[in-house]
Amino acid sequence: MARKPTDWPARYRKAKPPHVVTLPNDFAGVKAGQTMLISSPEEIGRWIDAIPRGETRTILRMRTELARRAGADAMCPVTASIYLRVVAECALKALDDGQTPDAVTPFWRVIGPGDRLAAKLSCGTEGLVHLRALDSALDPA
């Protein structure tokens, strides 16, 4: 039986607000008793929107900066990847619907062609490389 396509905008809207939890057990390199930010697509999107055109950041930097802003020891790497993909797929849908690259969240400034997440995107690694090239070529004026 074929899977129903993911409704990325619905996943974006249904996400809980960012919150910090104290871990009862070790998880993903964070020790029991430490705090972990569970972010949201909206928060991740705002962080990405602040990256200047032509510049890139790493997913690790995003996780570190958002955790620090929330006063947490770390940001959950699992939800960070999930929500980053939600942001990316929503932007790709908007592009497919006729939006221009400068009108959507520029996820390509965070997801690199070598990141595991790049291969999962509906645009594939090639589409990501193309969007990065367009971003660098666009005149910021």
Residue type, 124: G
Per-domain boundaries in the chain: 8-137
Total residue length of the chain: 141
Number of other CB atoms surrounding residue 120 within 10 Å: 14
The topology (CATH level 3) of 8-137 is Arc Repressor Mutant, subunit A (1.10.10)
Instruction: Please give the Cα distance from 23 to 35 (Å, whole number).
Output: 6
State what percent of residues in the chain have pLDDT above 90. 87
The amino acid at residue 8 is W
Contact present, 44 and 17 (Cβ < 8 Å): no
The string of pLDDT tens digits covering residues 49-63 is 999 998 999 999 999
CA distance 45 to 11: 14
Q: How far apart are CA 3 and CA 9, in angstroms?
A: 17
Sequence-ordered list of residues with C-beta below 8 angstroms from that of 117, at least 6 positions apart, any chain: 59, 81, 84, 85, 88, 111
Examine the pLDDT at 47 and tell me if it is beyond 60. Answer: yes
Residue of higher predicted confidence among 139 and 86: 86
Contact criterion met (CB below 8 Å) for 130 and 108: no
Q: What is the pLDDT of residues 31-44, one digit of tens each?
A: 999 999 999 999 99
The answer, as to whether pTM is greater than 0.95, is no
Mean pLDDT of 104-128: 95
Q: Can you give the pLDDT at residue 6?
A: 86
Instruction: Give the mean pLDDT of 2-16.
Output: 88
pLDDT digits (tens, 9 = 90+) for 74-103: 999 999 999 999 999 999 999 999 999 989
Per DSSP, 17 falls in state P
